[in-house]
Chains A and B, each alone.
Chain A
């Protein structure tokens, strides 16, 4: 490899090393250290010819013992999975028709998907508080349509007209925020698809519906995986949306992390929670990378 190539690849690697791997290792170190007032005890000490290595695993043990953590991890994964599934359900048809629309209108449709990014994310999520709160436009519309009885029957809201600070408002906010991240990779793969393959499928006796499931969906797998990961991963650790739109029922790991750091001031415990969360995210990410590589192989 030439030095110029090494530099080009090296700079982002260096960036990740300094600003991701190193801080992560510090977090790992803190998670196994003892807190001494405002500083941490060193893990490795050398006193009078005695080498001491103190690795405190009680934080991790505590995570497995106290079911608060387990429950919030499960809740985080659950809400992230529900959000990703809903985004896929909403985003796929959208991306599909966008990719099949006339070439002249596609840029405009794409623009509309990205338009929300032009205003602050915080502002947009906060706006939902007004829309879903008592007397809010969306809340009134839902009341008029009888959506609240339906949601109550499913157990997503506690009482009629109470949309805010429920699992419903949380998932609504997350789907609203993350659906563009699903649409964009799906659109990218669907618009690249060779439409002659669909003609070939019809020619071999596949109805449009069968051709969709046997040709279009398998060929857009890379987009489905990419979109799902782009939604799922940030949703697991999401803090702002649960804070603004979630309620007492929807405690997620981001909130627990916040409390450990800033309410309890227990940095080792908070670090342990964070490390476990990263591990929870790395597993699907590794699967995603492998799926991407496989898809790449199949395309060539």
Chain B
């Protein structure tokens, strides 16, 4: 008998790996020094641990430890990267290129910059959520200082052709920021291969602790930033504030494990995802895959179950932790901006469920979830007027619905 509740929301967060926790523990009570204390062994020990962690995190993405800036998480990293570049290089131009499916940390940062005189181009994606590199070329002007594109999408798992995009960005001479939160440790990702200048990372998406992030900033050629926080001048003046030593030690350990285990782990997770997909689609019709069939991170499966509302379905699956592109709980009632950007009809966006598979997901859990999904979708379709109408051959688009 499978143990419930089952966690299947690994794109939201991940549990701390016990090996990571073990690495962190001495830095709470024993090696508690301030890494900025230069006058005693407590400070030196903390600094040494932080420096080792920089190397571990940088190594995961093919960079150098000296290029890592610690932050409180990827939201801060992204804010620092985008605002920092925009401010420091404002005299070079005030145009930024990004994409409609980016995380709100990118989109809302860009919107704020628009209010202070910057121009932002939000690029469209295809139906699978992929960006055409040529669209980046067309959008870039002499005024473009920054292109910000995620490596992999958090909702639908789509992986962009980053190498091709990076080449174009460099050809045109702008800085390239990559939000690699969902990609790092999940698929091979190398800062030099994609020619990134800045890369945002988060510990808690790779079995590290929450509240810890990193911004990788290229040193050659040097990339400079205007800091957001003023204070003690930590992190080469780019991010003042005492380093969260246990946190960064955990991040380092998590990155090292992710790097070592990536080939085996991603293959195992991919098999589980395929198993889940096959079990569901062999039993149910009218199930749509959101995102790209191949260019996606292994742990993400995003499905729309036609004629069943996502939140209603999650209520039936209450012993499984999932998330939905339905925004039935939000005041706006707007479904996912990512699914919209992919051209998914609003009704199918409301019917979407994201299954996030990760390190601790088992085959038994996948089988249990698949069976529960099949059973619940059948029950809710029996209760759905839309399913009945569709089965009768009524074209739902021909009906004059009353939007509310």
Query: Do A and B come together as binding partners?
Result: no
Q: Interface residues, chain B, CB within 8 Å of chain A?
A: none
